[in-house]
Amino acid sequence: MSGETVILRAEGIARKFGSLEVARDISLALPVGARHALIGPNGAGKTTLINLITGSLKPDAGRITLDGQDVTALAAAERVRRGLTRTFQINTLFPGLTPIESVLLAVCERKREAGQFWRRLTSHAEAVDEAFAILRQLHLEEVATRETRHLAYGQQRLLEIALALATRPKVLLLDEPAAGVPKDESAALFSVIAALPADMAVLFIEHDMNLVFKFASRITVLVSGAVLVEAEPEAIRADPRVREVYLGSVGDQHAELRR
């Protein structure tokens, strides 16, 4: 891994909820263009780690650097402005807005144009074009003007990603992008993720091992708030400790792991 530029680095991240350690000395480094999977049994602290990295939660200890700059003390919105963006496991969208409005809002925020109350929305021509291009990229152009609450669930999952892309992230953290999506559709969703720009580092949480092994070039296994192992997919597949964790908790995932 030498030679590759690290874009996101988390060092010694720790966090306690009362006496429960939800993150224990977690370190992680994503090079530019990474496709990194974060796996582990339920309650391992995967979403918590994303919350800690993106600033939704404050770590008790540890340091997060983005593109060489320490962002540990920055608010979530400020991290997004610097290129560290996430999506949510549970849809966190604007139900009463249409996809074009939602993505346009995100684009305007990125361009620092969202506070301009004296300009007509349609005068932000570049932003409108860009928002529509993002929707097209995610196959949402047909439903661009339909209220988000009326979209099919799979389309809402895509909109989650569209909103994140509008911030032009250098690092994108996807919290179970295919959560709740039927198996046949989740492959299509991951093909969208696979088509993301090659210089964007992507960290994703996913339970379907087939998708993990197909799309990840590196995998971190998290157990009880700590990193069990981090390695390339082949090594993870062969690792007896990983098998044990999955056998101990969820049997059928163990079967998938062997395939």
Partner 1 sequence: MRTERAISGPAATWLKKRNRISTVEIAFWLTTLLPFVLFPSYLSLASQIAIAALFALSVDLVLGYAGIITLGHAMFFGLGAYAAAVLAKHGWGEPLTGLLAAALIAGVAGFVTSFIIVRVQHLALIMITLGLGLLTYELANSFSSITGGTDGLSVEIWPVLGIFDFDLWGYTAYGYALAALFIGVLAARRIVNSSFGLALTGIRENSARMPAIGSVYRVHLQKIYVISASMAGVAGALLAETTGTVSLDTLSFQRSADVVVMLILGGTGRLYGGIIGAIIFLVARDRLSDLNPQYWYFWIGLLLMAIVLVMPGGVLGGLARLFQRNAK
Kindly list the residues in this chain that would bind partner 1 in the complex (CB under 8 A): 54-56, 75-78, 80-81, 85-88, 92-98, 100-102, 104-106, 108-110, 113-129, 131-132, 135, 141, 144-145, 163-164, 166-167
Q: Which is nearer to partner 1, 74 or 250 (CB)?
A: 74
What end-to-end distance do the CA atoms of the chain give, in Å?
Answer: 27
| Shortest distance, position 122 Cβ to partner 1, whole Å | 5
The CB-of-83 to partner 1 minimum distance in angstroms stands at: 9
Tell me how far, at minimum, the Cβ of 205 lies from partner 1, in Å. 16
Question: In whole angstroms, how close is the CB of 4 to partner 1 at the nearest point?
Answer: 27
Residue with smaller CB distance to partner 1, 42 or 122: 122
User: What's the token pair of residue 213?
Assistant: 């092994």
Instruction: State which residue, 6 or 76, has the beta carbon closest to partner 1.
Output: 76
Specify the residue, 117 or 198, whose C-beta has the smaller distance to partner 1: 117
Cβ proximity to partner 1: between 47 and 167 the closer is 167
Shortest distance, position 90 Cβ to partner 1, whole Å: 10
**Cα dist from 186 to 40, 127, 182, whole Å:** 19, 29, 6
Question: How does DSSP assign the chain, residue by residue?
Answer: -TTSPEEEEEEEEEEEETTEEEEEEEEEEEETT-EEEEE-STTSSHHHHHHHHHTSS--SEEEEEETTEE-TTS-HHHHHHTTEEE--SS----TTS-HHHHHHHHHHHHTT-TT-TTS-GGG-HHHHHHHHHHHHHTT-GGGTTS-GGGS-HHHHHHHHHHHHHTT--SEEEEE-TTTT--HHHHHHHHHHHHTS-TTSEEEEE-S-HHHHHHH-SEEEEEETTEEEEEE-HHHHHH-HHHHHHHHHH-HHHHHHHH-
Q: Given the complex with partner 1, which of 5 and 145 has the nearer CB atom?
A: 145
| CB 137 to partner 1: min, Å | 14
Q: Which is nearer to partner 1, 98 or 223 (CB)?
A: 98
Q: Could you tell me the smallest distance in angstroms from the CB atom of residue 243 to partner 1?
A: 35
